[in-house]
Structure 1
Amino acid sequence: MDPLTRRRFLLASAAAGGAAALAAGGMGLAELLATATRDHGPDPDDGIDKLVLVTLYGGNDGLNTVIPYADPAYHSARPELAYAPEQALHLDDALGLNPVLTGLKRLWDDKQLAVVLGVGYPRPDRSHFRSMDIWQTASPEVPVATGWVGRWLDGTNAPAEAAVSFEPVLPPLLVGGTRVGACVAVGGLELPGGIDAELLAALGQPQAGESDLQARAAAAYQDFLQVNRLVHQAQQANIPSGTGDLPPLPSTATGGGSSLAAQLALVTRCVEAGVPTRVYSVSLGGFDTHANERVGQEWLLKQLDEALSAFLQRLARTRAGRRVTVAVYSEFGRRVRANASDGTDHGTAGPLFVLGPGVAGGLYGEQPSLVDLDNGDLKATVDFRDVLGTLLGSVLQADPGRYLNGYQARLLPLVRNNR
């Protein structure tokens, strides 16, 4: 999905439930709505589990990410795109990682990478917009106005900073019916010239006799400014005592303001500074590889590999960091057979990664058959809500059925309890 298409998806979806506002002007920050005024403060308990959701926009080609290198059907279906068996980073005698995923292979060897095979949803939809909406709302049957994390925010009466997205526009994932997560640009809030911070803060002060809608808007501004303060504090914070001599975070300037490495560097700062966020949302786009796929996908997967490897290596050095679990998903995989442009078209099921010091590494689920297809597409072997339910139950300590619209998830043993 190219950047314009990705932004269109976010813009089209962000108003779900009437709770989200779009990033405005040069601020690069979405306002927060529908939360009450509260006393805030960093949570000193670094033993609380945290979840980082990495969205790969565009539909990543799962067959060239987790490669069925021993399957003749893989090589015959995409002779120009298929990787030779000796090129894949072997996970077992049938599957291997893309050769650029060397950091993830090290995590696999350390038993900190779980690969869930064949993840999808019933009655697949090949539209980027509808498929991503299904993933973020966890509702494959009918469109709904809330994301699965947003419903968790509703159910726990969570503050604004409980779920944060470091993207230009708030994703539907974090939108609830009465609560909404925060959307913070990588650099935090930068006010245009002539705008006074004290004047902006005054917009959040309650006024006698105002309507409910005005009161909610005022509370939103307070949440907006509070989360921004937390981000700036995290960027400037010293490493807490007792964590050892940690090196400074690497510069993120080379990747640009929206790079995955820059987003994860800010997550690192927030975790180490004790910001009380439980769910972080970050993203990497460009995976709509209809032509010349090998070069483009390898370039993107290398970015993913380097960013995640550095992120987890850094977090492993603190107790708070070792409580972080990362999940990486895309809206769909690609078709089994290559197209005439040395690329692949929109498909269905694909692999999903779960990473971190507390992850029980290994293969989960069943690799879909490359010959028993549904009109040329893979048949999903794992319902995506089973993975989301596992993250809700094992990381957020929540009842999955309550936030998956009644779906009874089959929980997977992805996360260990002894961190």
Structure 2
Amino acid sequence: MDTVTRRRFLVASGVSAGALALAGGAFTLADILGTAGDRDPSARTLVLVTLYGGNDGLNTLIPYADPAYAQARPALAYDPEKVLHLDDHFGLNPVMAGLHRAYQDGKLAVVRGVGYPKPDRSHFRSMDIWQTGRPDAPETTGWLGRWLDAAGGDPRLAVSFEPVLPPLLAGAHSAGATVPGGEVKLPATVTTAQLTALGRPDPAEPAARQRAATCFADLTRIQDLMHDVAATGTDPDDEPAATATGGATQPLEQQLALVARCVEAGAATRVYSVSLGGFDLHADEKTAQESQLTKLDKPLAAFADRMSRSAAGRNVVVAVYSEFGRRVAANASDGTDHGTASSMFLLGQGVRGGMYGEPPGLTDLDQGDLKYTTDFRDVYATLLADVLGTDPARILNGWTGWLKGSPLTRR
């Protein structure tokens, strides 16, 4: 398809130039699958799950035995008998049955009190701190982008299934790959055959336009895969979740299905980034958070179960985090406002399940917020060393902290 015809097709069909620009900087699923066989089969894979909006950690990992919990948020607190108990003090939100089973099976590690010094309660600044790994100074590169620089810079080693590449995958000399996904909604005047023709690159065109063409073709291939996911249990009522990056992302189960496809195919990718938004709940939080945690728990449990069935999958470690937790006390709208420390989850066959890190006190507060007990760079250092096999100090600007009693089995 020549350049003029392609441009006329786009304008006439209503396919946005913005979509073309996004696709032009992206990789296709075929590009990622094409690396199959190019990795050490014993190498581990990191799947990083970002929860945008600041998830309420106290109603996720619930300190049900502490009387200060119910006193601080009487309308939001869960009765102890409804909590999914992990031990005599802590339990999971009642909708998190999948992760509760994983904990009982010894495959879920909970890291408590995770935060950083002088916390920032702005969504964007706090997420910037988490994604760059620099709470002490501004940074223009992501912590996994710096890992990618050190690993050789091939974008296919670090892949995002989010609408745009997250800053955490941007390095100084390279950046990870983003694979466009989601549903392709064609105008009534456009047929699938026309879209297929649009996705056929022309050797006479510039390289960027050829890549844009192949990305459009890849959208239809991903949509076919997502239809298969829907046939196996995807909730058709799930809406794309807005993220702090400004785009809309496909449901978490669909993102994880793409990750699973790549892992099982033996793709060379070592890091995958996926996300779920919608956690900024300042009002009527309880039911809304349960809905969001269901959208997290069910896909994660299904993904972990699928990964347990293959050798490559058993080398996958999932890490779940949010930019901050919420304040200890509820606000007047039965919600919670921006807070500080929270918990992280690590999930997988190679994880030593259990509790890690000291739980922050609910009465010894910093202006109403939890005091962090575990620096998030300690968690990053553990993931870099035990999953990605690299020196954390090189990536984390000299940071040498570690999680006490690593939740990851050493090799």
Give the structure 1 partner of residue 377 of structure 2: 385
Say which of 181, 184, 204 aligns to 2:179: 184
Give the structure 2 partner of residue 175 of structure 1: 170
1:25 is paired with a residue of what secondary structure? Answer: helix
Return the letter of the residue paired with 1:274.
G
Question: How far 1:223 sits from its partner (Å)?
Answer: 11
After superposition, the C-alpha distances for 1:90-123 in whole angstroms (9 at most, x for unaligned) are 1111111111110001000000000000000110
Give the structure 1 partner of residue 123 of structure 2: 128
Return the letter of the residue paired with 1:341.
S
After superposition, the C-alpha distances for 1:271-320 in whole angstroms (9 at most, x for unaligned) are 11122111000001000010001000000001111000111111100001
1:416 aligns with 2:409: yes
For structure 1, which runs of at least 5 residues remain unmatched after alignment?
1-22, 206-217, 237-246
Give the structure 2 partner of residue 373 of structure 1: 365
Give the structure 1 partner of residue 310 of structure 2: 318
Question: In structure 1, what is the Cα distance between the partners aligned to 2:73 and 2:233?
Answer: 39
Alignment of 1:293-372 (within 5 A): 293-372=285-364
Deviates more, 1:270-279 or 1:108-117: 270-279
Give the structure 1 partner of residue 51 of structure 2: 56
Say which of 36, 41, 44 aligns to 1:46: 41
Aligned length in residues = 370
Give the structure 2 partner of residue 278 of structure 1: 270
Give the structure 2 partner of residue 407 of structure 1: 399
Give the structure 1 partner of residue 5 of structure 2: none
Question: In structure 1, what is the Cα distance between the partners aligned to 2:184 and 2:234?
Answer: 17
Say which of 77, 85, 98 aligns to 1:82: 77
* Closer/same/farther in 2, CA of residues 228 and 401 from structure 1, 3 Å limit: farther
1:155 aligns with 2:150: yes
Question: In structure 2, what is the Cα distance between the partners aligned to 1:150 and 1:249?
Answer: 35
After superposition, the C-alpha distances for 1:316-365 in whole angstroms (9 at most, x for unaligned) are 00001101000000000000000000000000000000000100000000
Question: How far 1:41 sits from its partner (Å)?
Answer: 3.2
Say which of 60, 63, 71 aligns to 1:65: 60
Say which of 89, 94, 98 aligns to 1:94: 89
2:150 is paired with a residue of what secondary structure? Answer: helix
TM-score normalised by the chain length of structure 2: 0.82
1:117 is paired with a residue of what secondary structure? Answer: strand
Aligned-residue Cα RMSD (Å) equals: 3.2
Q: Is the 8 A contact 1:252 1:265 kept in 2?
A: no
Question: In structure 1, what is the Cα distance between the partners aligned to 2:271 and 2:122?
Answer: 27
Question: In structure 2, what is the Cα distance between the partners aligned to 1:256 and 1:318?
Answer: 31
Question: How far 1:181 sits from its partner (Å)?
Answer: 0.5
Deviates more, 1:87-96 or 1:196-205: 196-205
1:74 is paired with a residue of what secondary structure? Answer: helix
Return the letter of the residue paired with 1:416.
T
Question: In structure 2, what is the Cα distance between the partners aligned to 1:159 and 1:283?
Answer: 22
Question: In structure 1, what is the Cα distance between the partners aligned to 2:141 and 2:293?
Answer: 30
Same amino acid, percent of matched pairs: 55
* Closer/same/farther in 2, CA of residues 103 and 367 from structure 1, 3 Å limit: same
1:105 aligns with 2:100: yes
Q: Is the 8 A contact 1:30 1:184 kept in 2?
A: no
Question: In structure 1, what is the Cα distance between the partners aligned to 2:72 and 2:222?
Answer: 52
Q: Is the 8 A contact 2:157 2:270 kept in 1?
A: yes
Alignment of 1:12-23 (within 5 A): none
Return the letter of the residue paired with 1:388.
Y
Question: How far 1:177 sits from its partner (Å)?
Answer: 1.0
TM-score normalised by the chain length of structure 1: 0.80
